Structure 1
């Protein structure tokens, strides 16, 4: 086995052993499962690039040299063929799509296998840390392996086979890939959307260019970032963009159009067919975050006096891309929703049976103005695959499907985590790259403690005794900071679990009194514990300075704890006000604010109690 990084830059020697250049690249024939190296590119005298046939001219190679079969004067230069690509130019250090792992990775090196003395084949791309280390120096890679082995760890190779690589940084539409080569065309729209979200912005358009309209529409609907979807749509040709919108389900298309600027949206809608445009405009007429905005108007409804045979015939006539059908809805003579028949009942019923006779009459319905989260929760509660949305007159307007409900619940859960300061991790394991951020979020109080202690002790550095007292007193600061962080968790949990419009929820006044009471109890416990410790463990006069510092620090901590809980009603008001404006609030940001306040209060309390001598005990 040999790697591309070990070949690049090696001298190329002719039959007489004379150096005629250095290796700059290798060409491969793409139409095979494990592509053969077909061309050798090297840099000749005067930095002149040359390319020759590998099979015809290369005699042997190793990690240090490439030997040719002929003298320099007998070499005939060739050109890259239509089914060939260059490894260093087209693949190395480029982003590729791993179509097996459904992820975007960067190629750090390429692994080659020698099937005989001269022939080389590409096995796959190295996308792990070893490829980076090897490209720097093979010695660095060996050193890293030894260090890892010393600690009982492994640094395995991460190889993606050629058959699972899709190149996105170069237009290879004219290159014949192997028949076993799996590309983006074979992937599910949700997987394509994940890939697109991880690509560099400049490459997203190239990926979309590889897809047909149906795949583009599916991937666009699956993008989690609405702003990204709007950006991609806004950069496309208007005719193409309008055609993709027509392929999308009306609810997904309406959501995307709402993210575009008004002029762009109007141009795209006017280019669409009349029926598609009408469906999207109707959905855009409803307020955001309501059932009307997430429902689809693609629904199967029949008069209640029709038969099972009529329903089956209607289903057979639907377009292939019609919204997934699980129910047939029935309407009475006034066109009001009167019942529903499941596909299961249709299958087992006699063709001449009236739909009204096998319909379920007790229906769970939603109004188009209902909050989308309430509708999604009802769908989950009653195990529905879709919930009908009806007008005030009881007429069927559309349905909210279970996949849309799941999206809503996922969004709400993500918002709740954001408010509570939670952090999500990527599915492909990249969360390890964010360990420092995770550590900061989980232990922000420690950094505050270090900084605040440095500031407080610096303020008293001119007086040795005061400096020592202040430094010892700061030992109690972690208590104040941790409780400040916990007070934010306390208020965010209350916010998430209690709806202010719910009559059974505690009032703001009740929450305020409970918070202040909790702060008082906690502060009292802190005070009693330090008094007991000082009295029992430090009774001697020789320990007076230490006892004084501890009483000083824990008194300041008790004051800080009380203030932290007293401020929780203000945090609750902030959360509710921002929620009314549909604005997200970071729990981590609130925690930083709370700990900052706690540190300031702690410092002030030390200064006041230390100056006036008002120390408990």
Structure 2
């Protein structure tokens, strides 16, 4: 006989009947152990008996319906219920709490959990993220869609169960900007869980911190030690690390700067001298330059080996004279379309558009828009390249702050199929 799916909300406070047909209490919660490979299975019940709660293993449950829960035994361990490591409580941890909708990279609230009985036992198979109407006189026709449990990642906020939820998580499908959006919207407890996940991947953690808005980044780094902060800043792009460093309280900056690895410290120190609303403050230090007699083939080979550089900063090849002064630029697409033995001397634009370190952000963004530039070199008074402004940094600087605080639209983490 097939057992129809049940909703958690319909089970809570149900009478629990023992093997003799006597009511011994009511249902207070259901216990599951999360598994990264499939929907979580019920391992036990939390029963309210009098003023306390006790544990009942799922093995003694004879049946569960929307009216009652029947046990196959009258014998229970009457010691007060205590959650064990790895256990998750569907009512206390999930119902009414927020979860991450992985497909849309958005925070949603779980208003109900669907339970089904299969060959493995009782399983939490779905989540209802639609709030039920208070006045609903036709419940039989209520059609809230229930989506698969695997489409969500619960933010449990329970430290002891974290280890059992760390591997194979759906969060691995999210990208750094999506994590940043979620963290900015999350509560402190939710932030801690998300940050704990990205902390296991130092490169991802640095990328996430680069994407965070200034306020969120400052608040999170304020709770980190100087050494922890330096570890994050040490992996960030130097321009983003310099901005983050300047947002720290003044009495922390020197200590954190001193803890950075030497190459990163030198780069960050170089950028600290520029105001953040200028080209110098916007620029990054990754770029690629060659003498004019370099062939395109040789330049592209060097480009392919620049695996530690910011990819956005490699969209343009720069040509410099013997004094290090900029004498030409060539877009990457143009370079790929030309004969590979062509010299940069003959291929480059001999009059490249550039900025100076003190140029205002508005001037920089307008210049990039006017000339359709993906990359704008920033030159010192002698014409040498100090750094480059990438189009993503220019866009970020150009977007008004109040636009950033508008309610974000969900950003799917996987392509949507249109039928």
TM over 0.5: yes
Aligned to 1:299: 287
In structure 2, distance between residues paired with 1:354 and 1:80: 70
Structure 1 stretches of 5 or more lacking a match? 134-139, 150-154, 416-422, 430-617
Deviations 1:142-192 (A, max 9, x none): 33869xx9xxxxx7526453212223322343215785x512x32111111
Larger Rg: 1
Q: 1:48 to 1:344 in 2, by over 3 A?
A: closer
The count of corresponding residues between Structure 1 and Structure 2 is 401
Aligned to 2:55: 50
Deviations 1:570-613 (A, max 9, x none): xxxxxxxxxxxxxxxxxxxxxxxxxxxxxxxxxxxxxxxxxxxx
In structure 2, distance between residues paired with 1:28 and 1:287: 53
Q: 1:209 to 1:73 in 2, by over 3 A?
A: closer
Aligned to 2:416: none
Aligned to 1:246: 234
Secondary structure in 1 aligned to 2:137?
helix
Aligned to 1:199: 186
The answer on whether the counterparts of 1:241 and 1:268 sit within 8 Å (CA) in structure 2 is: yes
The answer on whether the counterparts of 2:374 and 2:391 sit within 8 Å (CA) in structure 1 is: yes
The answer on whether the counterparts of 1:205 and 1:232 sit within 8 Å (CA) in structure 2 is: no
Matching residue within 91, 110, 115 for 1:112: 115
Matching residue within 400, 403, 409 for 1:427: 409
Q: 1:177 to 1:58 in 2, by over 3 A?
A: farther
Matching residue within 198, 214, 229 for 2:203: 214
Q: Does 1:329 align with 2:329?
A: no
Cα root mean square deviation, aligned: 3.0
Aligned to 1:590: none
Deviations 1:204-250 (A, max 9, x none): 233111112211211111123x1221111121132221121121112
1:141 shift after superposition: 5.2
Aligned to 1:378: 367
Aligned to 2:136: 142
Task: Please say which of residues 15-24 and 393-402 is displaced more in the overlay.
Answer: 15-24
Aligned to 1:167: 154
Q: Does 1:394 align with 2:383?
A: yes
In structure 2, distance between residues paired with 1:360 and 1:74: 82
Q: Does 1:63 align with 2:66?
A: yes
The answer on whether the counterparts of 2:53 and 2:80 sit within 8 Å (CA) in structure 1 is: no
In structure 1, distance between residues paired with 2:389 and 2:26: 64
TM-score, L = length of structure 2: 0.86
Task: State how 1:165-564 maps to structure 2 within 5 Å.
Answer: 165-168=152-155, 169-171=157-159, 172-175=161-164, 181-183=169-171, 185-211=172-198, 212-224=201-213, 226-320=214-308, 322-324=310-312, 325-411=314-400, 414=403, 424-428=406-410
The structure carrying a bigger strand percent of its residues is: 2
The answer on whether the counterparts of 1:126 and 1:157 sit within 8 Å (CA) in structure 2 is: yes
In structure 1, distance between residues paired with 2:100 and 2:236: 25
Q: 1:83 to 1:288 in 2, by over 3 A?
A: closer
In structure 2, distance between residues paired with 1:71 and 1:190: 53
In structure 1, distance between residues paired with 2:22 and 2:139: 36
The answer on whether the counterparts of 1:110 and 1:125 sit within 8 Å (CA) in structure 2 is: yes
Task: Please say which of residues 272-281 and 400-409 is displaced more in the overlay.
Answer: 272-281
1:199 shift after superposition: 0.5
1:364 shift after superposition: 0.9
In structure 2, distance between residues paired with 1:315 and 1:333: 20
